[in-house]
Amino acid sequence: PAGAGGGERVRREVGRSLERGHGFCPHVVVRRKALVLEDVRDYPRFAGNPVVDEYGIRSYLGAPLIDSTRTVLGTVCVVAMEPRPWGREGLDAIKSAAAELAPRLERTGPQGPRF
């Protein structure tokens, strides 16, 4: 664990994998829009998702990574183990991160960076 701004604890996990349909990111990919879940238990559609029980995720904020051809490359997201009021600031931040990251990923591509 590493400390983050505001005294929050950050846990980084490497090598974790999920079934393709688990988690909340697949919904972001299909909808092609950001998804804000301040407390997943408030949303019956999402409360039964395996990540809630298996990993204890209670809050989610994610946005799609859309390239110049309008293809969804994936998502960028943050999660919390407690309910979290992301607010307009959080939504704007995740959308901004997605908008900045998508072109970088597109330039990188499977063959490495293109300049």
Q: What is the pLDDT, as a whole number, of residue 2?
A: 35
Question: What is the pLDDT averaged over residues 84-90?
Answer: 97
Question: What is the pLDDT averaged over residues 14-39?
Answer: 84
Q: Please check the confidence at residue 106 and state whether its pLDDT lies above 90.
A: no
Span 21-107 CATH architecture = 2-Layer Sandwich (3.30)
Adjacent-strand bridge partners of 78 = 61
Q: What is the pLDDT, as a whole number, of residue 111?
A: 63
Q: What is the pLDDT, as a whole number, of residue 38?
A: 97
Round the average pLDDT of the chain to a whole number and report it: 83
What gap in Å lies between CA 33 and CA 20, rounded to an integer? 18
User: Is pLDDT larger for residue 6 or for residue 82?
Assistant: 82
% of the chain at pLDDT higher than 90: 59
What distance, in Å, lies between the first and last C-alpha atoms of the chain? 36
Q: What is the pLDDT, as a whole number, of residue 30?
A: 95
Diameter of the chain measured on Cα atoms: 46
Dihedral sign from CA coordinates of 102, 73, 11, 42: positive
Q: What is the pLDDT, as a whole number, of residue 3?
A: 35
Q: Which residues are within 8 A (CB) of 66 and not within 5 positions of it... i.e. 6 or more apart?
A: 32, 72, 73, 98, 102
Q: Please check the confidence at residue 10 and state whether its pLDDT lies above 70.
A: no
